[in-house]
A and B are shown apart, each in its own frame.
Chain A
Amino acid sequence: MLKNIQEWILLFIIVSVMVAVGNWIGYEVMPLEALPGILALVGISLVGLILHRVNPYKGIPSIAYIGILAFIVTIPGVPGAEQIVEWTSKVNLLAIATPILAYAGISIGRSWADFAKLGWKTIIVGMFVLLGTYLGSAVIAEILLRMQGII
């Protein structure tokens, strides 16, 4: 357990450097300015991972702990909420997404041979599968948001 936490922290340090660098080059936020926000996000993620590890019931995915925890600590009125919101607003979402997809790309390379073997029918169906879920959800959301007069 301790060994795991140690490993997570080391990995978070590495990933934080990438986010800070991307945030600096792409979105012109100085790394020092972004540091408190990155630390806050790392802290929340770490606590979420630990909570998932210690709870013997594994039916809840660890990202659910992380998402809910991050949500709770930033609800207006919760002590420190404003501070966390201000800090993390300096960390651009796209600066986090870039290293994720860079790691993903290297990981995906392994599946390329299998991908190349898929027939054209699978590729077509696959695109409609993704479009189906995306548009399906967007249309339902649009209808309800309009009915409620939110948009």
Chain B
Amino acid sequence: MSGGVNTSAIFRAIFMRDVRLAWSQGGTGTMALSFFLIAVTLFPFGVGPEPQTLARIAAGVIWVVALLACLLSLDRLYQADYEDGSLDDLALSPLGLTGVAAAKILAHWVATILPLVALSPILGMLMNLDAGAYGMLVLSLLVGTPALSLIGSVGAALTVSVRRGGVLMSLLVLPLYVPTLIFGVGAIDAAAGMTDPLPHLAFLGAVTLVALVIGPIASAAALKLSLE
């Protein structure tokens, strides 16, 4: 029976469903994008409009806000499916919970985070980012943000049955985001300071790869717990 089932078709179906949901009304896609834009523009009001000050903190601000946007949008990655019972159905699919988690994480990254990455040069402009660092801004976000989705998914899965799990989830996940933030900002600062950003980028990629190994498995284990 299982021979007839095409697991990659199931993976694609879950992926497409989540992408569509993210961009339907009330989905996380537009909200995360708006949050990203608005939260970054708050910083010049807070620290003052001097171009030098903004340039110095641009990389850090954009990364931190991207991280928070990711966290906010991950809040209900599994919760809606858990509440309406579709997670029970998904758990029975031949893909297994690990595959389901992987599909949902990928959908989150593509639908919610990739638009932020695409928008980031405009925010770099608003924050007076050093002219030589735009390419590295996009590249470091591309390499680093998958780790945010992957690690955040574990937090979302652990708190899936907690009614207001968002705050608890950020408490669990934020400490684990520290390495990604450090290497991501490090790469941009290196590019802006005319030094070699490659070591930062390599470590950033390494963190993402570790998260790729841990994220879906730990998420599946946590989801299985809440479905018992």
Q: Do A and B bind each other?
A: no
